[in-house]
Chains A and B, each alone.
Chain A
Amino acid sequence: MTHTFKGGVHPNYMKAPEIPMTVMTPPPQVVIPLIQHIGAPNQPLVKKGDYVTMGQKVGANPAPVSAPVHSSVSGTVVAVEPRPHPLGDMIMSVVIENDYKDTPCTDLPPLTEEQLKDSDAILERIREAGVVGMGGAMFPTAFKIRGGIGKVDKLVINGAECEPYLNGDHLTMLNYPEQLLKGIELVRIASCVDKAYYGIEKNKQDAIDLLNSLHPEKYGIEIVPEEVKYPQGAEKMQVKAVTGREVKPGGIPSGVGANVVSTRTCYAIYQACYEGKPVIERIVTVAGSALAAPVNVLTRVGTPFSYIAEQCGGFVKTPRKIVLGGPMMGICATSFDAPNIKGTSGVLFFTEEEDRHVDEPTCIRCGKCITVCPMNLEPVFMYMYYSKGDFENMEKYHITDCFECGSCAFNCPARMPLTHAFKTAKLMFQAKAMKEKAKAEAEAAAKEAKK
């Protein structure tokens, strides 16, 4: 039986895992945005003029849904001010002048033997080390695992890496197999389950063989080879492929007793627990036709994109877009000064070559969007009702169930901006709900006042 899901597309993968991982010299100045996760924003813990060590916590928030941020270099804080954020907007950031000494921080000692067997100790460390979903979602991992304890009986580790271009997970498997398995074991212990299922797409056969040769069963792990298809790495598709369970509409995987943790997150957890190292670096695939050749490089969090481009050989063509993450779900950065953050798995400098834009997209009703939608939706009608602003029918066609994988728009011969429209529609629904809520509250208040 092949492990997979219904629908999906086969983009041109453009992967280059054969390029060995290099380590990038840290930049003279790093920019650490205080928001690198989903949830409550961090408050700065340092001020201008402070000396910080590598791995020192520079921002935190006591709220449960949050993850602290750490300095990725040692040096002096030169500013705490709003700076361009890779996901758009200006966000409060800590700017640190690198002294190139990499003086380590000793706040997080490696966990002891007993602690490594204790769910609470591991979760506490995961939180303190600022581990978030490093596949790109950046949801605080400790909160996710804690919320699943007792409910989750199937732990799924995501090693699909179905997005084109990206090689980070693949190279992590090849370069640190043992550490990775230990990291997965930690997640398994923290989740209080007996077994973890590691779903890996078959285009990484060398990694599957290598991991299998290291006796994953010793760590309570089973490797599940999966069909190569986008979006295999989406949470819901991963759960479906590995466990056969379907997450309910509007629900999350733990609703059907599954939790999904990405490869790179497991490795970060290994580093946090065994080495006492917070999330201050990550492997990034730098590619795109603006560069001479793709590069797989280990970068410090907070490295500006202009510096990354320069270190990766500079531009041979003028870039038009900076795509963060993979090209299917990745969004565009608005500034060269924005830094990479914990969730940045790829930095793609695209020129007009990758662009297949048309000026006047016209739907030809071919229905090719319907056949590829992994969520069983009907994008052609969703788009039609979206253009009309028909909320009732948008809801009837479950527009809010779209998780924006981009398969429909990728496959659209007419080049309709489908995913973009659904993203906007979802925001419109959010705004509408908020408005209704405010209205109801105002009415209730008015009633109260009358009394």
Chain B
Amino acid sequence: MAANQETKERIVLDVAYQPQVRTIRDTRRLMQDVLIALLPALCVAVWQFGAKVLVTVAASVSSAVFFEWAYRKLLKKSNTIGDLSACLTGLLLALTLPPTAPWWLPVVGTLFAIVVVKQLYGGIGKNFLNPALAGRAFLLASYALIMGNFSVPTGLKGAVDGVTMATPLSYLYGENPLPAYFTPQALFIGTVPGAIGEISAAAILLGLVYLLVRKVISWRISVSFVGTAALLTLIFGRGGDHVNFMLYNVLSGGLLFGAVFMATDYATSPVTLNGQLLYGAGCGALTVLIRYFGGFPEGVTYAILIMNLCTWAIDKGFHRHQFGVTKEDIAAAKAAKKAAKEAAK
């Protein structure tokens, strides 16, 4: 008793706020899960483009982490590289670059992504543009030639002469007919030219399944994004076979990669459930619009960036009714408002 009394005196009780327990999953674990989900795409890239893509990835990840650390160190802010979000931005950016990219290209990209897009607005969660995509858009505008230089994948060596070649998407919207080796199966597995991470639909879908199982993202944005793009290309298809045209549109370019990994970025996508559906649909529609009428063959980057800018308005518009408010209540409130308006007249 006496000993207990003594210890009791010395204990300072913490009167922390509720809840007293928290889920084990924190920001770091979420980011870690996305990094894991990107591994299949990275593996396919190494298989198709060789180990040199790892240099691009390493340069991108390490420079992103360095810029995050250095910026916050210089401004005497807390060190946030532990949450792995900079790491993820670096990897995402690298995966959107062509395999021929020189090592300094991602360094320039992450400088813009981390410092200008993310940290100048206050860091994680406060940026309104997806940092990796904004970095890519910056590189696309500044180094258009390098960014359009796609090397021949291992799967097509022998079938194609030269070192670089055009992507399926540029054929789809270009003058020349699509070469026979760009089969839907090839696009699905990933034996096609393209940006490092975007070539294999199978690898990206594997990542999506992982993210859904781990409940990192919900299906809403990805499904409505791809669904809208598929629907529009099916209805307004070109050429004879609309289904085939739709399939090529979904499988080629960065559409799947964007829908799974880019559009679902937490900070820059809506949090309201119906808002997420609209946002995804907007991304899909804009992608198709840009592909049909834009100057670039690819539209995913700008489609998502434009929808990023609409996120705030979408969230405001989809403010939901709280528990206990029935449809009749909403109708009654509307009628009352209308009546008040008329009475004012």
- Do A236 and B324 touch (CB < 8 A)? yes
Which residues on B sit within 8 Å (CB–CB) of A315? 4, 7
- Do A362 and B124 touch (CB < 8 A)? yes
Min distance, Cβ A277 to any Cβ of chain B, angstroms? 30
**Beta-carbon contacts under 8 Å, A52-89 to B:** none
Of A332, A396, A401, A415, chain B has the most CB atoms within 10 Å of the CB of A332
- Which one of A306, A334, A348 contacts B20 once the chains associate, using CB atoms below 8 Å? A348
Known contacts A363-B125, A420-B18: A356-B24 contact under CB 8 Å: yes
Which residues on B sit within 8 Å (CB–CB) of A240? 323
Known contacts A246-B323, A366-B30: A321-B16 contact under CB 8 Å: yes
The verdict on A367 contacting chain B, using a C-beta distance below 8 Å, is yes
- Which one of A318, A329, A378, A414 contacts B7 once the chains associate, using CB atoms below 8 Å? A318
Of B14, B20, B326, chain A has the most CB atoms within 10 Å of the CB of B20
- Do A322 and B19 touch (CB < 8 A)? no
**Beta-carbon contacts under 8 Å, B281-339 to A:** 315, 319-326, 329
The verdict on B75 contacting chain A, using a C-beta distance below 8 Å, is no
Q: Which residue of B lies closest to A321 (CB)?
A: B14
Of B11, B25, B123, B323, chain A has the most CB atoms within 10 Å of the CB of B323
Which residues on A sit within 8 Å (CB–CB) of B341? none
Which residues on A sit within 8 Å (CB–CB) of B180? none
- Do A365 and B23 touch (CB < 8 A)? no
The verdict on A49 contacting chain B, using a C-beta distance below 8 Å, is no
Which residues on A sit within 8 Å (CB–CB) of B1? 310
Q: Render A348-366 as a binary contact track against B, CB cut-off 8 A, 1 for contact.
A: 1010001111111011111
Query: Which of B59-67, B144-152, B154-162, B266-274 lies at the interface?
Result: B266-274
Q: Which residue of A lies closest to B326 (CB)?
A: A246
The verdict on A20 contacting chain B, using a C-beta distance below 8 Å, is no
- Which one of A251, A348, A365, A412 contacts B22 once the chains associate, using CB atoms below 8 Å? A412
Q: Render B246-283 as a binary contact track against A, CB cut-off 8 A, 1 for contact.
A: 00000000000000000000110011110000000000
Which residues on B sit within 8 Å (CB–CB) of A321? 13-16, 20
Known contacts A246-B323, A318-B11, A378-B271: A364-B16 contact under CB 8 Å: no
- Do B78 and A320 touch (CB < 8 A)? no
Which residues on B sit within 8 Å (CB–CB) of A335? 13
Query: Which of A207-215, A260-268, A402-410, A443-451 lies at the interface?
Result: A402-410
- Which one of A332, A401, A412 contacts B15 once the chains associate, using CB atoms below 8 Å? A332
Min distance, Cβ B19 to any Cβ of chain A, angstroms? 3
Which residues on B sit within 8 Å (CB–CB) of A366? 30, 266, 271
The verdict on A17 contacting chain B, using a C-beta distance below 8 Å, is no
Q: How far is the CA of A410 from the CA of B315 in the complex (A)?
A: 23
- Do B13 and A322 touch (CB < 8 A)? yes
**Beta-carbon contacts under 8 Å, B136-176 to A:** none
- Do B16 and A357 touch (CB < 8 A)? yes
Which residues on B sit within 8 Å (CB–CB) of A322? 13
Which residues on B sit within 8 Å (CB–CB) of A183? none
**Beta-carbon contacts under 8 Å, A358-390 to B:** 358-360, 362-367, 370-371, 374-378, 380-381
- Do A398 and B30 touch (CB < 8 A)? no
**Beta-carbon contacts under 8 Å, A323-340 to B:** 323, 327-336
The verdict on A2 contacting chain B, using a C-beta distance below 8 Å, is no
Which residues on B sit within 8 Å (CB–CB) of A380? 271
- Do B125 and A364 touch (CB < 8 A)? yes
Min distance, Cβ B8 to any Cβ of chain A, angstroms? 5
The verdict on B119 contacting chain A, using a C-beta distance below 8 Å, is no
**Beta-carbon contacts under 8 Å, B20-40 to A:** 20-27, 29-30
Min distance, Cβ A140 to any Cβ of chain B, angstroms? 24
Q: Render A245-276 as a binary contact track against B, CB cut-off 8 A, 1 for contact.
A: 01111010000000000000000000000000
- Do A246 and B324 touch (CB < 8 A)? yes
The verdict on A164 contacting chain B, using a C-beta distance below 8 Å, is yes
Min distance, Cβ A230 to any Cβ of chain B, angstroms? 10
- Which one of B4, B26, B80 contacts A306 once the chains associate, using CB atoms below 8 Å? B4
- Which one of A354, A355, A359, A401 contacts B322 once the chains associate, using CB atoms below 8 Å? A401
Q: How far is the CA of A355 from the CA of B325 in the complex (A)?
A: 36
A236-B324, A249-B323 are known; give 16 further A-B pairs, CB within 8 A: A236-B323, A248-B329, A306-B5, A334-B13, A335-B13, A354-B21, A356-B24, A357-B16, A363-B125, A364-B125, A366-B266, A367-B272, A381-B315, A410-B19, A413-B29, A423-B18
14 A–B contacts from the bound complex (CB under 8 Å): A246-B324, A249-B325, A310-B4, A320-B13, A328-B19, A330-B18, A334-B13, A354-B20, A364-B27, A376-B322, A409-B22, A410-B22, A413-B25, A419-B19
Residue numbers of A with Cβ under 8 A of B are 9, 11-12, 164, 236, 240, 246-249, 251, 306, 309-310, 314-315, 318-323, 327-336, 348, 350, 354-360, 362-367, 370-371, 374-378, 380-381, 396-398, 401, 404, 406, 409-415, 417, 419-420, 423
